Amino acid sequence: MLVEGCLAMKINGKLRAVMVLALFLAVISASELPETSSAIRYWWDVGHARTNDFVVPHWWTNYTLISSLFAPAWLACICAVVLICRRWPLLCVIALSTFLIVEPVSCASAPSADSHSETLLGLEEIPFVTAERAADEKHLERMDRILKQRAGDTGVFPTTERELHDVVGAVAFETSPYEQAGRRIPFDLRLVINQGTAHSETPEKPGIVYYAVNESGRQFVLTISGLNEPVSGRASMMKASTFYGGKQPWGGLLASEESLYER
């Protein structure tokens, strides 16, 4: 009787440990459920967009998928362990103790699944805009290289619509990541004469590149309109990724700058 009583106490102690560990892990996992629900909402909204909505059809990345599945996957693992805890209590304590180490590590290493992810640690911000921003940034970089090469040949950047379109050519109007009513929207290009500073306005559509150049043609800044989310009824100026360690340049706009002045 004494032996059986001690054995029962050990088992009950292990079951209590299982429940405490499972509850703690469930709280950690459940804290990421808002990201899962947001991902589901965006998938629904993109698939059921209205005809006047602007859409980024390929808005997800590997990191987005991992982030949205993080909470359901871990909650499923925890539930599976709890279901078998009465049969193998010691094994379940070991499994949950291992989860307690692996879950935070998997959270912190999730950004490595995507080269364009902006977060420093874990699932602090699910990257719903990463794919859109990466496509826009790639386009700005191509434009920047062409304009910089032209300045290397002539000593100035274009300052008229004709010069600008002659230099950039068809690259300015290549396919963008945006759609409306099932039709792809090409990138567009606008010339803005100012002090060579970042231009911002309320755009009529996403994918418009604003080439802001000073009158002397010695400095320019490229900015671009976008959505900053997978689907929206109106466009906005595209924002840069989260900037750590200082003030956000150009008011947080996604921008590319070149200058012929000595720095």
CA dihedral 166, 168, 171, 176 (to 10 degrees): -110
Task: Taking residues 86-95, report their average pLDDT.
Answer: 90
Supply the pTM of this predicted model.
Answer: 0.79
Task: Tell which wins on pLDDT, 68 or 205.
Answer: 205
Most confident of 13-22, 25-34, 229-238: 229-238
Q: Residue ranges per domain, the chain?
A: 2-113, 130-259
CA dihedral 160, 162, 167, 173 (to 10 degrees): 110
CA dihedral 248, 34, 182, 169 (to 10 degrees): 20
CA distances from 73 to 69, 77, 170, 235 (A): 6, 6, 46, 35
Task: Taking residues 23-39, report their average pLDDT.
Answer: 89
* Residue the block writes with tokens 């990466």: 134
Residue 234 — very low, low, confident or very high, per pLDDT cuts 50/70/90? very high
Mean pLDDT over the full length of the chain = 85
99-103, 156-160, 209-213, 243-247: segment of lowest average pLDDT: 243-247
Using one digit for the tens of pLDDT, what is the confidence trace for 163-184? Answer: 999 999 999 999 999 999 999 9
Tokens of 141: 């970089």
Using one digit for the tens of pLDDT, what is the confidence trace for 3-29? Answer: 333 444 455 778 888 898 999 999 989
